[in-house]
Amino acid sequence: MIFGDSVRPAETAAATDWLDLSCRGDEWTVGTLVPNQYESLVRVYPPAPCPGDWWSIYRTLFDVVASIGGHHTSSPDRAWFAIWEGHGFGSKSTRRAWRDPPADEAERRERDAERVRLRDEDRRHNSAIRTALAEIPRFDRPGRTYYLLEGPVTAVTGLRHPDGHGWRNPDLFWPDDRGWFVATDVDFWSLYIGGSSGFIAELAESIPTRFEAVDLDLPLEIED
């Protein structure tokens, strides 16, 4: 599957119908992102910038949520993963730099031919991705349209970027029984999580980054 072998496209987007009624509040607040039905609501901050593999540390946050969340849902084998359509899928552009100018006409022709080959390769690659994406159900939320995938809760750390390079975090993530809900966005890295007090208490003991309780009317903070 284009987003990894641990998930599959949802058959329909019906699993998201509840969000329209459950996510209420002023524009660009936590209440418009996370359903308003949860006992506890927290913000998990992203890892601080570091010289190592920041994405691996970030993925750890999702791994902790999935590991603990699996014990706080009646449906650990069925969860929903929403990925924003605007992440640039199907628009790959390969770039190659040559340090020195071509030495002669033959080398210039060779470089021109390589540029044409790379453009054709990108065109085929992007077309294949767009064709695969067209088969995945989508749904709308304020200012965003998402692809909807399904799989076990633990599949969150197995999601893959469609170009095959690296992990792709979901923007929204919840088990089928709606026992908890995780949300982030292209404009920030923090995770906003709703769930039972027991679930949130366990998360607080294991999350390796800053962690604080928030309210539904808290404005969402843009993070670079």
The percentage of residues in the chain with a pLDDT greater than 70, rounded to a whole number, is 86
Q: Domain for residue 62, yes or no?
A: yes
Task: Tell me how far apart the alpha carbons of residues 68 and 200 are, in angstroms, rounded to a whole number.
Answer: 9
Question: CB within 8 A of 57, min separation 6: which ones?
Answer: 47, 50, 208
Q: Which residue has the higher pLDDT, 102 or 62?
A: 62
Q: Domain for residue 119, yes or no?
A: no
* The pLDDT value given to residue 19: 97
Q: Domain for residue 132, yes or no?
A: no
Average pLDDT score over the chain: 90
pLDDT band at 127 (very low <50, low <70, confident <90, very high): low
Closest CA to 146 of 84, 90, 87, 86: 84
pLDDT tens column, 130-167:
888 999 999 999 999 999 999 999 999 999 998 877 99
Question: CB within 8 A of 3, min separation 6: which ones?
Answer: 81, 83, 147, 149, 159, 160, 162, 168
User: b/e string for 76-100 if b means 16 or more Cβ within 10 A?
Assistant: beebbbbbbbeeebbeeeeeeeeee
pLDDT band at 51 (very low <50, low <70, confident <90, very high): confident
pLDDT band at 120 (very low <50, low <70, confident <90, very high): low
* The pLDDT value given to residue 91: 55
Q: Domain for residue 130, yes or no?
A: no
Instruction: State the residue for tokens 């993925």.
Output: 59
The percentage of residues in the chain with a pLDDT greater than 90, rounded to a whole number, is 73
pLDDT band at 181 (very low <50, low <70, confident <90, very high): very high
Q: Domain for residue 51, yes or no?
A: yes
Task: Tell me how far apart the alpha carbons of residues 40 and 72 are, in angstroms, rounded to a whole number.
Answer: 13
Closest CA to 25 of 193, 213, 214, 217: 217
Structural domain of residue 163, as residue ranges? 8-88+139-213
**Tally of domains within the chain:** 1
Q: Domain for residue 180, yes or no?
A: yes
Q: Domain for residue 14, yes or no?
A: yes
Q: Domain for residue 108, yes or no?
A: no
Does 107 have pLDDT greater than 90? no
Q: Are 59 and 75 a contacting pair, CB within 8 Å? A: no
Quote the DSSP letter at residue 180. -
